Amino acid sequence: MLSDSATPDDWHTPAELTPLDGNEAFRGMDVGTVLDFWRYAMPDLRTNTTRGLLAEFLVHRAVGAVAHTTAWESFDVLTPDGLKVEVKTSAYLQAWGQPRLSEIRFSRLRGRAWNPEDGGAAEQSYNADIYVFALHTALTHADYDPLDTGQWGFYVVSRPLVEATRQASLGLASVRRLCGEPVAYEELADRIATCACQPLPFTP
């Protein structure tokens, strides 16, 4: 948060992000590239944290997004039309052994908006224009393929409908009531555009 005495000249502003291609070498190491780091940091696309990032990547690509949101943004994807999209992820299977399939729940629908100038908001709020609930549908580890977009189902809804629930998390039954049937990856961009233009309750 900017203090009362600080001026814009006092800020430590990061340089514009230059995308990496993975071949960049670490200095001071005999062997080591950015690709080696990526392999170390994300060896398993099934883990909760990485699966969430993977779902955000899929939505980012589906809508043709150009900008990459920063870690402190209160939404996950910015579409070329300026829509703020929040991506929530769940799955039946985890990266560890489990006696039964996981209950599907999408959490942290509300959050405190934050920016470097003002800090965090006093109250939690719904901060995206569109919510995408991404469900990985594999039911056995033998079938689980994190690189197969056909194993995802995407439920899409506008903020007013999520906000009307006044809930911080939603189970699958509630998501289905809000969104209707899920769409496949190739239909995702069109469903997001439709929800943005017609943020009305789904009628079966």
- What integer pLDDT is reported at residue 31 of this predicted model? 85
pLDDT at 8 over 70: no
Name the pTM for this structure.
Answer: 0.87
- What integer pLDDT is reported at residue 180 of this predicted model? 94
Contact 185, 154 (CB under 8 A): yes
pLDDT at 17 over 90: no
Q: Where exactly are the structural domains of the chain? A: 44-197
Strands 170-171 and 119-120: unpaired
- 136-177 pLDDT, tens digit per residue, is 999 999 999 999 999 999 999 999 999 999 999 999 999 999
Distances from the Cα of 120 to the Cα of 74, 83, 101, 113, 138, angstroms: 10, 22, 37, 6, 38
- 50-106 pLDDT, tens digit per residue, is 999 999 999 999 999 998 887 778 899 999 999 999 999 999 999 999 999 999 999
- What integer pLDDT is reported at residue 203 of this predicted model? 44
